[in-house]
């Protein structure tokens, strides 16, 4: 294994491809299809550039390209080594999948500002490549900040108050908090050693430097990168950032942004300090820097899993699951030993595939049925079998069930923990315990979702989230959500007006008022009230009896108006259809289940992005049952969304079954082998 350093512009090319593409994306704002083509082209080219470097990197070559010299000895340099390639291959490959999903999601949800979205996405991926290939702390810091800035438009995409507030919080945590800490750590490292370059196995001078300052530098850097990785208590930005569109939550907040935080921590542990020094920097009570890092990871892991149990909003639950799973990586990085490091690094792609699948499923459910809350998802497995099937597979992987990727990484980490416990310090056993506990908790918060989707009926299911109701369950019904709110029942309307944007107000671990019960009564009476004549046509009831005239009259919607069925184009100036701003900002009181559209979840007419409320839950008469061969025809949604879901799920399964052949495990073993001292090599 030669360690040849080769000057090659391909790392820079990988960074620039999507940056250039973002310009073209903005320029083609009038033609959505061409604009999307630019995104896909950029994603494919980027992946090709990165993949072309893979074979030689596996052989031990390192590609380097210096952009400019900032100060003497501190160049702005991109270096494609094994660790960088791991992240780069992951992010660029998943961008292709996410772009396809984005197309389906944005068009299906009729989102505004799509050009800004796709352009910001491209720039974010550019920054992610920069982080992956950064050759020293200064470079990774600059790209780290650029990533925060580039993803801000995506978080604040909806332009609502919640979105702006989430965006501000996101910037405050990552740009100011994380960035400042990383910069301080970088300056300290430079001051101590005179270099900030990533050196496999750690910068030598750090071992000789003052241990107190070295420890300070370690924690500054680790916590600075950890902010993005969602370690507690600096994780708060992550659940709030779920207000972003789902592809953003998926790729960025489960793959690129948070993984860049974890990747940064791995760079710090492996290439700045080195695993040996991290273990040796000792603190009182037998702790060492690495062990403290792992403990923080373990605490975050467990706490986030418990919080996830209480979340009714699916994306919130997934957000806390992300916080928890990322701490697996942090935990593994602090374990000194071959297995622990391999497990931690392997969890980067493993979790990425699984979490991406989960988020894509959640987004697909949102687009197709406007359902965001688990308590409304009873029986949704009938309506979206492929989606929920993929969800099931991915959740099993999260819990660490064999044959899916999560098992392999967890297995390695458990081995690493036990090794460390047996040979070095018994504290590691507690870490192992945390991992095992977390596996159980993963099942505890994913299983209800799967169970309620496939094995429960809309009119008789356990109230969710399970932990908020009494032991033994409480039977609720969510059927019949066609809204003929005569006079407007404020509470019920408010419940449905939550949409998927507001999370804090509604289900932030608070008491869930037993809406289900009241709603059951209401919906029963209302479905009885829906006035239809003999032929089944809905005839409005114009009798003024007990109608509240302070409210506008209820709209009767049969779901067959042409304007609702024809697809509206993206919000493009001078485009095909200019959105009338004043048109309909009142409640869209149609049936929540847009089953009227057949083989496309793409035409949702007048919904104004996320501003209107979403009537989640099954329509009157329960979910439409897709069965038989129709399941594989993708009738539940569109192939734009289903394809990526199934691809991500398959990758998760493949990584669980053939991790070597996929290349990831080989890369990781190369990474770890070159960074551990000889006596701790692979057993």
Partner 1 sequence: MSEILLPLAVAVPIVAATLPIVAGRRFDAIGWPVAALTTAAVVAMAGTVARVVYGTGPFDHELGGYAPPIGIELVADEFSAAVFLLVALVSAATLVFTRVVGPRRNTFYSAYLLLTGGLVGVSLTGDLFNLFVFLEIVGLTTYALIAADRSGASAYASLKYLVVGTVGASLYLTGVGYVFLATGTLNMADVSTQLSAVGYTDPLVQTGYALIAVGFALKMALFPVHTWQPDAYQRAPDAVTTVVAALVSTVSAYALLRVSYSVFTVDFLAANDAITTGILVVSGVSILAGSALAAMQSDLKRMFAYSSVAQFGLIAATVGIATETALLGGIVHLVGHGLLKFGLFLGIGVLAAGYGVQHVADLASLARDAPLASGALAVLALALVGIPPSIGFLGKWYVALGAVDAGGTTGGIGGIAIAVVVFVSTLFTLAYVARVLERLYFAGVDRSIPVVHEIGAVPDGGEGPRPVEERRSRVPVAPLVVLVVTAIAAVGLGFAGAGFESLLDPFLTEVFA
The C-alpha atoms of residue 427 and residue 296 are separated, in whole angstroms, by: 13
d(CA 26, CA 103) in angstroms, rounded, equals: 16
Task: State which residue, 116 or 484, has the beta carbon closest to partner 1.
Answer: 116
Using CB under 8 A as the binding rule, whether residue 549 contacts partner 1 is answered as: no
The rounded distance, in Å, linking the Cα atoms of 405 and 224 is 28
582 touching partner 1, by CB under 8 A: yes
Q: Which two tokens stand for residue 448?
A: 């209800």
Non-local (6+) Cβ contacts of 141 within 8 A are: 179, 182, 183, 186
- Told to check if 163 binds partner 1 by CB under 8 A, we report yes
Give the separation between CA 471 and CA 359, rounded to whole angstroms. Answer: 29
Select from 9, 59, 176, 576 the one that contacts partner 1 (CB under 8 A).
176
Q: Interface with partner 1 includes 171 (CB under 8 A)?
A: yes
- Residue 164 lies near partner 1 (rule: CB under 8 A): yes
Tokens representing residue 494 in the block: 């408010």
Q: Which is nearer to partner 1, 94 or 183 (CB)?
A: 183
Which residues of 2-103 form beta strands (DSSP E)?
5-7, 62-71, 74-80
Scanning 220-228, 232-240, 486-494, 581-589 for contacts with partner 1 by CB under 8 A, the matching segment is 581-589
Nearest to 321 by CA among 378, 429, 428, 400: 400
Q: Which is nearer to partner 1, 177 or 488 (CB)?
A: 177
Exposed, middle or buried by CB within 10 Å (0-12, 13-18, 19+), for 489? middle
**142 scored as a contact of partner 1 (CB under 8 A):** yes
Judged by CB under 8 A, the residue of 66, 160, 565, 606 near partner 1 is 160
**Part of the chain binding partner 1 (CB under 8 A), chosen from 1-9, 158-166, 271-279, 292-300:** 158-166
Binding-site size, partner 1 (CB under 8 A) = 27
| Interaction between residue 169 and partner 1 (CB under 8 A) | no
Please tell me whether residue 544 binds partner 1 under the rule CB under 8 A: no
Question: Which of the residues 183 through 212 are near partner 1 (CB under 8 A)?
Answer: 183, 191
Tell whether omega for the bond before 490 is within 30 degrees of 0, i.e. cis: no
Nearest approach, Cβ of residue 683 and partner 1 (Å): 46
How many CA within 13 A on the CB side of residue 514? 13
**Of 471, 545, 562, 581, the one binding partner 1 by CB under 8 A:** 581
Q: Closest distance between partner 1 and the C-beta of residue 178, in Å?
A: 13
Minimum distance of partner 1 from residue 174's CB (angstroms): 13
Judge whether 353 and 653 are in contact, CB under 8 Å: no
Q: Which residue has the tokens 């391909």?
A: 10
- Which region, judged by CB under 8 A, interacts with partner 1, from 151-159, 209-217, 305-313, 378-386? 151-159
- Identify the three-state secondary structure at position 554: coil
Query: By the 8 A CB rule, do 257 and 87 touch?
Result: no
Backbone angles phi, psi at 375, to 5 degrees: -65, -15
Task: Tell which residue, 147, 121, 124, 129, has the closest CA to residue 92.
Answer: 129
Q: Is 578 in the site for partner 1 (CB under 8 A)?
A: yes
The one among 8, 159, 280, 569 contacting partner 1 by CB under 8 A: 159
Both tokens of residue 386? 């492929």
CB of 475 or CB of 585, closer to partner 1 = 585
Binding mask 442-461 for partner 1 (x = CB under 8 A): --------------------
Is 132 a binder of partner 1 (CB under 8 A)? no
Return residues touching partner 1 (CB under 8 A).
70-71, 116, 142, 149, 153, 156, 158-160, 163-164, 167-168, 171, 175-176, 180, 183, 191, 573, 578, 580-583, 585
């Amino acid at each position: 294994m030669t360690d040849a350093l080769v000057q090659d512009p391909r790392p820079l090319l990988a960074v620039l491809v999507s940056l250039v593409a973002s310009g073209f994306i903005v320029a083609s704002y009038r033609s959505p299809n061409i604009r999307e083509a630019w995104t896909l082209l950029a994603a494919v080219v980027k992946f090709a550039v990165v993949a072309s470097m893979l074979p030689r990197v596996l052989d031990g070559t390192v590609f380097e390209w210096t952009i400019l010299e900032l100060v003497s000895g501190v160049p702005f340099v991109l270096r494609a080594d094994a660790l960088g390639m791991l992240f780069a291959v992951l992010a660029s490959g998943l961008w292709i999948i996410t772009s396809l999903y984005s197309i389906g999601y944005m068009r299906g949800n009729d989102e505004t500002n799509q050009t800004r979205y796709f352009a910001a996405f491209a720039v974010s991926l550019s920054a992610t490549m920069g982080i992956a290939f950064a050759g020293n702390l200064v470079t990774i810091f600059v790209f780290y900040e650029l990533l925060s800035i580039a993803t801000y438009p995506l978080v604040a995409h909806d332009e609502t108050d919640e979105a702006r507030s989430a965006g501000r919080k996101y910037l405050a945590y990552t740009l100011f908090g994380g960035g400042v800490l990383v910069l301080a750590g970088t300056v300290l490292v430079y001051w101590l050693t005179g270099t900030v370059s990533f050196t496999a196995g750690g910068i030598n001078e750090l071992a000789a430097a003052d241990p107190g300052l070295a420890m300070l530098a370690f924690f500054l850097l680790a916590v600075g990168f950890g902010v993005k990785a969602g370690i507690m208590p600096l994780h708060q930005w992550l659940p709030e950032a779920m207000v972003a569109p789902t592809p953003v939550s998926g790729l960025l907040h489960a793959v690129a942004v948070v993984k860049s935080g974890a990747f940064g921590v791995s760079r710090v542990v492996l290439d700045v300090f080195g695993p040996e020094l991290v273990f040796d920097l000792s603190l009182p009570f037998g702790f060492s820097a690495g062990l403290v890092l792992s403990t923080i990871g373990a605490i975050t892991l467990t706490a986030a899993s418990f919080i996830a149990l209480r979340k009714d909003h699916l994306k919130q639950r997934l957000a806390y699951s992300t916080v928890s799973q990322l701490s697996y990586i942090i935990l593994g990085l602090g374990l000194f030993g071959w297995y622990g490091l391999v497990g931690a690094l392997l969890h980067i792609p493993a979790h990425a595939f699984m979490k991406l699948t989960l988020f894509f499923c959640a987004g697909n459910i949102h687009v197709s049925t406007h359902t965001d809350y688990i308590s409304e998802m009873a029986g949704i497995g009938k309506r979206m079998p492929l989606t929920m099937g993929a969800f099931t597979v991915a959740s099993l992987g999260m819990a660490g069930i064999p044959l899916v990727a999560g098992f392999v990484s967890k297995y390695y980490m458990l081995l690493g923990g036990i090794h460390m416990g047996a040979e070095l310090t018994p504290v590691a056993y507690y870490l192992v315990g945390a991992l095992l506990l977390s596996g159980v908790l993963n099942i505890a918060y994913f299983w209800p979702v799967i169970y309620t989707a496939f094995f429960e009926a809309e009119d008789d299911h356990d109230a969710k989230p399970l932990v908020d109701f009494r032991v033994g369950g409480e039977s609720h019904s969510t059927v019949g959500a066609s809204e003929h709110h005569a006079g407007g029942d404020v509470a019920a309307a408010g419940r449905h007006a939550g949409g998927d944007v507001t999370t804090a107000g509604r289900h932030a671990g608070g008491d869930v008022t037993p809406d289900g019960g009241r709603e059951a009564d209401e919906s029963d009476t209302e479905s009885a009230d829906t006035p239809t004549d003999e032929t089944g046509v809905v005839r409005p009831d114009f009798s003024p009896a007990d109608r509240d005239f302070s409210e506008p009259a209820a709209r009767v919607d049969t779901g067959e108006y042409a304007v609702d069925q024809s697809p509206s184009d993206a919000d493009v100036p001078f485009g095909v259809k200019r959105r009338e701003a004043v048109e309909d900002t009142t409640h869209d009181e149609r049936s929540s289940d847009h089953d009227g559209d057949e083989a496309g979840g793409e035409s949702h007419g007048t919904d104004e992005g996320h501003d209107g409320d979403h009537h989640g839950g099954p329509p009157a008469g329960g979910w439409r049952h897709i069965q038989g061969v129709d399941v594989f025809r993708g009738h539940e949604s569109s192939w734009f969304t289903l394809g990526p879901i199934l691809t991500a799920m398959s990758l998760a399964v493949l990584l669980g079954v053939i991790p070597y052949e996929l290349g990831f495990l080989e890369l990781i073993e190369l990474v770890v082998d070159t960074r551990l001292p000889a006596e701790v090599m692979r057993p």
